[in-house]
Structure 1
Amino acid sequence: MKSRKLLMIPGPIEFESEVLQCMAIPTPSHVDPDFIDTFSNSLKLMKEVFQCPSGQAFIVAGTGTLAMDMAAANLIEAGDKALVISTGYFGLRYAEILKRYGAEVDILEAELGDIVSMERIEQQLKFKSYKLLTFTHVDTSTAVLNDAKSIGTLGKKHKVLTVLDGVCSVAAEEIKQEEWDIDVVLTASQKAVGVPPGLALLVASQNAIKAFEQRTSPVANYYGDWTNWLPVMKAYEDRKASYFGTPAVNLVIALEKSLQLIVKEGLDNRFNRHQRAGKAIRAAIEALGLGMLSKNEQVSANALSAPLYPSQMDPATFLQTVNQEGIILAGGLLPELKNNYFRIGHMGSVNKSDLLATIGAIETALMNNGYSHELGIGTAQILKHF
């Protein structure tokens, strides 16, 4: 009997064994020749996964919020105008980050479970001139998927820098950073990139680097200042050692391994696999008679889902019962609705067996807590899609 439970939350996720093995090796020096090669290759692979061959990759010890912070700190000066497209908790977080650096922030907030229409975004861009536009590709609080390609097109048309918060989308949802004219794509290691928590990952376009170089005031964040990090990244790209802060050595080694696995799978294959997983989970939830927080299929993320509880279901008891079945799910994140929905992460190395076990545990928990449904109707949908 396995004592370990299956982690099906929106991060940290289940990690490949080869990646975890990298965490267990003796830690080498950050100037060891082999590690320098590893760091260099990781930067190269990041640009391949983000699909931005001309971009500048950054690997920094920290969280996804640090990656958000770095983009804001380096591209915003006091008085700059920024537009935030919010589809949930993390869109509003980005507005707060931007304000810390003196930005004048406008927020276009979507109706719960939906996205802001491209017409509404363009209308705002015509109404006011902005330096920066940020949006969350997949908001972890709502499981809503934004139209990144269309927003990138609008950014280029209106000459505004675009920042894609891809913490819950990079390596799960399709992103073609360079082709879609997105200036910064950022993420964290513990989501679909498939590495334990601790790395802030970011790729900046040449347009974003140029905007940074044209600043007239110092970056108001010492640790996140690209002035400190650019020489380090460029040195490692050239297979030379450099120092500003000690890198998270084992995490970088694990990152290289995970990125190699992602590239080996093939980006299109990986995106298709996540699409099938997302559709399978949504079909299973619908078969069970539950609603979803996302309004429709078009705006539903493939990396995670946010089903609604049945009426009269106690959230804590439901999640505890699922846990007893060997599956860990996440509760709701939006403060005002946290007792109305739960979240299932299905990204990275997730497979059919994981999905079957998860839906099976949900079915059992629903039945044990008084919800009537045909046993097996949800798991049948997983089998149908896989």
Structure 2
Amino acid sequence: MSAQAPHNTLLIPGPIEFDDAVLQSMAHYAESHVAPGFVKVFGETLTLTRKLFQSTDPSAQPFIISGSGTLGWDLVASNLIERGENALVLNTGYFGDSFEQCLSTYGAQVTQLRAPIGERPSLEQIEQALKEKTYKLITLTHVDTSTGVLNDVKGVAQLVRRVSPETLVIVDGVCSVGSEEIAFDEWDLDAVVTASQKAIGCPPGLSIVMTSGRAIQRATTRQTPPGSYYASIANWLPIMRNYENNKPSYFATPPTQLIHALHTTLSQITARPMAERFAIHTQVSDSVKAAVAQLGLKQLAPNPDAQAHGMTAMYLPEGLTPPDVLPGLLKRGVIFAAGLHKEIATRYIRFGHMGVSVTDANRGDIDKALSALKEALAEAKQAKGL
């Protein structure tokens, strides 16, 4: 039984519900960011981050910086590519557009390989694009929360290494890390950008980026200075290395309470094999998607191989819009998200099922949500005379 104050269950694609122990960690007393106790906790948190990404490569480096997942885009765009160089963005929705805008802001020449809504670019299309032009980096959104599309990161990375091995593989994993399989070393990735508030199960406020030795070398040997001061890998690299080696360091003050919370949730996550965590998210996702289908709802992503396991984006019945359904869910103590993709935002809603709502079956969050969805849909149809 949770000790948290009664509240509506938050089941959007992030932020998500938090474990009691994680929230209690936020109540840690004030301490210096260079005090021995905090330095130890921050160092352990960086090491736990390696386990989260299933990385044992000593040349790889995790970064934990105060900011949102979007800050990770800045870290990539201002350090790993220089003005005028080519970037290929695999677009599966809203966040492909956003990553393109970030890269363009720093002067990259961006080509988008855009998939129809609910789909992802094929490996054949990606291979053709890589053969037509030399790209400094390629970005893909592991799970685009605007569509619920799951990208084949492993397959794309293998393709890039075969066709264009010098191209850096950059993954937006904000809505995937902690719920979708990802093996940083084995898949030979160069950067995975994520954040604290989604499947990792920590309050918002931390940008988390895992980088390869190849990416670090690219950042530290660039011909021009990085385009950002705060998001400079050169500025943060010695800080992260020092903390992980139990040495106090300073560039900008870390959010000490959030680091304690992240330490707690990563300790919980990595206490069991990551494969088990991925499996339970897949199992619950399959159940959710089966229940959604029984209600007559179709997903934005029709291909099961391209469906995320931490969320479900579903079209509403003809004649209904999010404002017709979301209040009915809220009345039953459940919060879903409205549509985000600008072309179809009024036609669908999004159900986030990740983190503690999935791993702690005793909470009953998922069953409660599915029951509320069924009732809210019926109520909305009746009100509309459908």
Query: Is the structural similarity TM-score above 0.5?
Result: yes
C-alpha distance in 2 between matches for 1:33 and 1:155: 43
Going from structure 1 to structure 2, the CA distance change for 1:163 and 1:371 (only over 3 Å counts) comes to farther
Give deviations 1:29-72, integer Å, cap 9, x for gaps: 10111110111011111111111222101000000000111111
Whether 1:229 aligns to 2:236 is yes
C-alpha distance in 1 between matches for 2:273 and 2:333: 31
Whether 1:312 aligns to 2:319 is yes
Partner of 1:61: 66
Residues 177-188 of structure 1 mapped to structure 2, 5 A cutoff: 177-188=184-195
Partner of 2:130: 125
Residue of structure 2 aligned with 1:107, choices 112, 131, 149: 112
Partner of 1:332: 339
Residues 1-386 of structure 1 mapped to structure 2, 5 A cutoff: 3-54=6-57, 55-157=60-162, 158-159=164-165, 160-351=167-358, 352=361, 353-370=364-381
C-alpha distance in 1 between matches for 2:88 and 2:221: 20
Unaligned runs of 5+ in 2: none
CA contact (8 A) 1:115 1:299 kept: yes
Unaligned runs of 5+ in 1: 373-386
Q: Match of 2:192, SS?
A: strand
CA contact (8 A) 1:193 1:258 kept: yes
Task: Give the CA deviation at 1:161.
Answer: 0.3
C-alpha distance in 2 between matches for 1:24 and 1:39: 16
For residue 113 of structure 1, what is the amino acid of its counterpart?
G
For residue 362 of structure 1, what is the amino acid of its counterpart?
L
C-alpha distance in 2 between matches for 1:84 and 1:236: 33
For residue 107 of structure 1, what is the amino acid of its counterpart?
Q
Q: Match of 1:13, SS?
A: coil
Task: Give the CA deviation at 1:180.
Answer: 0.4
Task: Give the CA deviation at 1:296.
Answer: 1.6
TM-score (norm 2): 0.94
Q: Match of 2:15, SS?
A: coil
CA contact (8 A) 1:52 1:205 kept: no
CA contact (8 A) 1:80 1:130 kept: yes
Task: Give the CA deviation at 1:13.
Answer: 0.2
For residue 354 of structure 1, what is the amino acid of its counterpart?
D
Q: Match of 1:152, SS?
A: helix
Give deviations 1:269-303, integer Å, cap 9, x for gaps: 10001001111111000001111111221100001
C-alpha distance in 2 between matches for 1:70 and 1:302: 27
CA contact (8 A) 1:132 1:161 kept: yes
Q: Match of 1:4, SS?
A: coil
For residue 19 of structure 1, what is the amino acid of its counterpart?
V
Give deviations 1:302-332, integer Å, cap 9, x for gaps: 0100011011114213100100000000000
TM-score (norm 1): 0.94
For residue 57 of structure 1, what is the amino acid of its counterpart?
P
Give structure 1 regions of 4+ aligned residues with deviation exceeding 2 angstroms.
none
C-alpha distance in 2 between matches for 1:71 and 1:265: 31
C-alpha distance in 1 between matches for 2:321 and 2:301: 21
CA contact (8 A) 2:31 2:38 kept: yes
